[in-house]
Amino acid sequence: MSDETNQGLQSAFRRKLLMGMAAIPAVTMLPRSSFAQTPATSAVNTTGLAVTDTEVTVGILHSATGTMAISETGSIEAEKLAIEQINAAGGVLGRKIKFIQEDGASDWPTFAEKAKKLLVNDKVAAIMGCWTSASRKAVLPVMEQYNGMLYYPTFYEGLEQSKNVIYTGQEATQQILAGLNWIAKEKGAKSFFFIGSDYIWPRTSNKIARKHVENVLKGKVVGEEYYALGSTQFNSVINKIKLTKPDVIFTDVVGGSNVAFYKQLKAAGIDLSKQALLTISVTEDEIDGIGGENIAGAYACMKYFQSLDNANNKAFVPAFKKMWGEKTVIGDVTQAAYLGPWLWKLTVEKAGSFDVDKIAAASPGVEFKGAPEGYVRIHENHHLWSKTRVGRAKLDGQFELIYETADLVEPDPFPKGYQ
């Protein structure tokens, strides 16, 4: 309630006045940055978050240990890079970002516990974190109960929307539909074979894909197979693929299984330069483990590839490599994680406040023109408008951009006719 009263009193003029007043003593003490933008802490933080006159604290919550560390390491790196860059550019509302990193340890209850610690003990202004849907589902009630703000980077199955979460990755329809349309048109594909890991994301994604293939593309799904997470034997399903001879193999296999699947596909003599394969789960990160020679020729449907040719990306990739080493690769989710701190900064500046309620309200319409993927904008449903792209894997482990949608694709986490 107190938030709303304060909001009512603070006209834009009053806020500017406060900013100016706060700047006067600061200029003499700390000469380096432009303190004309630094508003008083009491004005920008009415809910007791960890904001001081010079610093604001955010949380980073990913798995640095455990099985998900493979995937989440890139996100941690991207978020730290973004924070460093924002600080170098003067911070947020004149305050440097300080981060507290917690380890979710690939364990979902740990994620919830650490999220609570970050919100209740550390009073962080926002959390950049989570990777799997399971960890997000574990953290969501905590975010809602203690009114935190989560920036979630992974492409995911949709069917969720929260005031307390900004989804910087694609929901399922954004990732799948344009890719299927493209391959149907380009390759004249009529028959599809689905293979995925057995959990919520592949199953939901394939459900959407099946509806689209059957109802919109008027094609046929000749097989739909799921293998337990961590499976390493795919010879049987590969034989089924050989028997059914689908125009397209559509895969959402994840983790270590991915490596086994592509190695065995290649060993079974399926040549990806002739057999079309469209994946929504392999980024440059995964190819590191799979090996470029095992997957060259496959198509991936993502919103970002490291090889994208635009000015933002040409600055982003060298900066990332400079910070984390020449050999690191940048996948789709890593880029989406990079958007989190920037979108938060832009939203805070738009709202003129660190208060979570104001940020949640100010989020729709926030644009980030410096995104490595090009340009993104936050939708009313807290997902991002972004383009869908199809890339083709090359021997060196990079993707060659083959197709991108002309316009930004609207996020639709609750797609009608697909459920």
Residues that bind other proteins (CB under 8 A): 64-67, 69-70, 72-74, 198, 224-228, 230-233, 235-240, 242-243, 255-260, 263-264, 266-269, 285-293
Kindly tell me which of 166 and 254 has the beta carbon lying closer to other proteins: 254
Kindly tell me which of 11 and 236 has the beta carbon lying closer to other proteins: 236
Burial of 67 (0-12, 13-18, 19+ CB in 10 A): middle
Instruction: Please state the closest distance from residue 294 (CB atom) to other proteins, in A.
Output: 8
Kindly tell me which of 270 and 402 has the beta carbon lying closer to other proteins: 270
Distance CA 123, CA 180 (A): 44
Q: Which helix (H) or strand (E) holds 284?
A: helix 284-290
DSSP notation for 300-358: EEES--TT--SHHHHHHHHHHHHHH-TT----HHHHHHHHHHHHHHHHHHHHTS--HHH
Going by DSSP bridges, is the β-strand pair 389-393/55-62 parallel, antiparallel, or unpaired? unpaired
Kindly tell me which of 54 and 264 has the beta carbon lying closer to other proteins: 264
Q: Which helix (H) or strand (E) holds 391?
A: strand 389-393
Distance CA 59, CA 260 (A): 35
Instruction: Please state the closest distance from residue 373 (CB atom) to other proteins, in A.
Output: 22
Q: CB-based contacts of 327: which residues, under 8 Å, 6+ apart?
A: none
Kindly tell me which of 182 and 226 has the beta carbon lying closer to other proteins: 226
Instruction: Please state the closest distance from residue 94 (CB atom) to other proteins, in A.
Output: 35
Three-state secondary-structure class, residue 143: helix
Instruction: Please state the closest distance from residue 126 (CB atom) to other proteins, in A.
Output: 24
Comparing CA positions, the residue from 343, 350, 353 lying closest to residue 7 is 353
Kindly tell me which of 201 and 226 has the beta carbon lying closer to other proteins: 226
- The angle formed by the CA atoms of residues 126, 132 and 135, to the nearest 5 degrees, is 60
103 strand-pairing partners: 62
Instruction: Please state the closest distance from residue 227 (CB atom) to other proteins, in A.
Output: 4
Instruction: Please state the closest distance from residue 134 (CB atom) to other proteins, in A.
Output: 16
Kindly tell me which of 68 and 362 has the beta carbon lying closer to other proteins: 68
362-389 burial, b if ≥16 CB within 10 A, otherwise e? bbeebebebbbbbebbbbebbbbbbbbb
Kindly tell me which of 39 and 255 has the beta carbon lying closer to other proteins: 255
Length of the chain: 419
Instruction: Please state the closest distance from residue 46 (CB atom) to other proteins, in A.
Output: 39
Instruction: Please state the closest distance from residue 70 (CB atom) to other proteins, in A.
Output: 5
Contact 281, 250 (CB under 8 A): no
Instruction: Please state the closest distance from residue 68 (CB atom) to other proteins, in A.
Output: 9
389 strand-pairing partners: 302, 404
Kindly tell me which of 98 and 190 has the beta carbon lying closer to other proteins: 190
Instruction: Please state the closest distance from residue 38 (CB atom) to other proteins, in A.
Output: 38
Three-state secondary-structure class, residue 65: coil
Contact 73, 86 (CB under 8 A): no
Kindly tell me which of 368 and 399 has the beta carbon lying closer to other proteins: 399
Kindly tell me which of 293 and 380 has the beta carbon lying closer to other proteins: 293
Instruction: Please state the closest distance from residue 270 (CB atom) to other proteins, in A.
Output: 9
DSSP notation for 189-253: --EEEEEEESSHHHHHHHHHHHHIIIIIS--EEEEEEEE-TT----HHHHHHHHHH--SEEEEE-
> What is the DSSP-derived secondary structure letter of residue 411?
P
